[in-house]
Amino acid sequence: MKKLTIFLLIALMIPIVCAIEPSLNVISANCDNTGNIVVEVSHDGRPVYSDKVTVSTTHKYTKEKTMLSGDWYFQNEKTNLIGRSSTIPESIIFKTTDGSLSKNGEYKLIIDYFTDTVDEKISTATMKFNCPGKTCLSSSMCNHDEYCNNGSCNYLQCGECEKAIFHACIPKCADEDTCTADYCKEGVCLHEKLPGCCITSKDCYDGRGCTLDKCADNRCVNQDIACNENKGPCVSGACVEPKGCVYTTDSVCLEKENEKRKYFIYVNDPNIQGNWLERMNAWLSSFFSNFFKQ
């Protein structure tokens, strides 16, 4: 008899325990032209704190999850405790304040409840609803991926090879590199390098030491080096791979040039070292030496 009594008590307690576990159900969701939403939620079970409940939406086309911020109301009074009774279902109102539901179209509302001690989801309530779109006079009043149409913000349904920027669909594969051909294939961006195209002169290096490599108007110019620097009448240059310019001096020519210089010495000649007396003695010595040879 005692065992039967305990069994009956346990059996009676099971539905009570199950009823205590909180449960949320969406009754209605209404969106206005300010981008805000009013949601009526039926709560059953033990009370829960609002900071353990998250409200989010996903748009039918974007599929992006948007977290909503707002306030909870019970009997027209703001509250942070959802539910007062654990046995009688109660109507709770959630109102957003951020105006984030600006797009026209269908949304899916998602309400998740988590435990008090750990971040473990207990239940989820969902509902689909429509928004008229945020009231606008121009596209600048809408988000960048929207455009203004008939006074409301609408989602830009761009193609798989497009992206939404500044209220318009543009090709998404442009990489701003003038040396690539950008195109889209099955939704994937491909960037093909253009032959002979350059950005800087480094792109034009041909591995040779006898060319001057330059980039002009995104095209490579590889010009032969002349090796004609003015290094004197007795010095000649030639380009030799892979070193580049190589210069040689003609010793016979250099000796003749030195002899000429001795006959045309001037006091202010910066190419002759020493003072004017030394330069004069050198000139006289050279003059008489050549005079007696005649």
Averaged confidence pLDDT in the chain: 79
Q: What is the mean pLDDT of residues 198-226?
A: 86
Q: What pLDDT band is residue 14 in, cutting at 50, 70 and 90?
A: very low
Which of these ranges, 150-164, 175-189, 239-253, 259-273, has the smallest mean pLDDT?
259-273
Q: What is the mean pLDDT of residues 134-139?
A: 86
Q: Using one digit for the tens of pLDDT, what is the confidence trace for 257-283?
A: 777 766 555 444 555 555 556 666 666
N-term to C-term CA, the chain = 156
Alpha-carbon distance of 208 to 283, in angstroms, equals 49
pLDDT recorded at residue 11: 46
Q: Is 244 helix (H, G, I), strand (E, B) or coil?
A: strand
Alpha-carbon distance of 11 to 3, in angstroms, equals 12
Q: What pLDDT band is residue 9 in, cutting at 50, 70 and 90?
A: very low
Say whether pLDDT at 292 is over 80.
no
Burial class of 109 by CB neighbour count within 10 A (0 to 12, 13 to 18, 19+): buried
Q: What is the mean pLDDT of residues 68-88?
A: 88
Q: Using one digit for the tens of pLDDT, what is the confidence trace for 99-134?
A: 888 888 899 999 988 876 556 777 789 999 998 888
Higher pLDDT among residues 152 and 291, named by residue: 152
Alpha-carbon distance of 165 to 69, in angstroms, equals 26
pLDDT recorded at residue 286: 64
User: What would the two tokens of residue 211 be?
Assistant: 């060319």
Identity at 228, one-letter amino acid code: N
What domains, with CATH codes, occur in the chain?
2-131 (2.60.40.10), 198-249 (no CATH), 260-293 (no CATH)
Nearest partner of 105 among 138, 78, 70, 66, judged by Cα: 66
Which of these ranges, 82-86, 164-168, 242-246, has the smallest mean pLDDT?
82-86
Nearest partner of 31 among 87, 94, 115, judged by Cα: 94
Alpha-carbon distance of 282 to 65, in angstroms, equals 96
pLDDT recorded at residue 39: 95
Which of these ranges, 92-96, 161-165, 217-221, 264-268, has the smallest mean pLDDT?
264-268
Q: pTM score, two decimals? A: 0.51
Whether the Cβ atoms of residue 94 and residue 72 lie closer than 8 Å to each other: yes
Higher pLDDT among residues 207 and 5, named by residue: 207
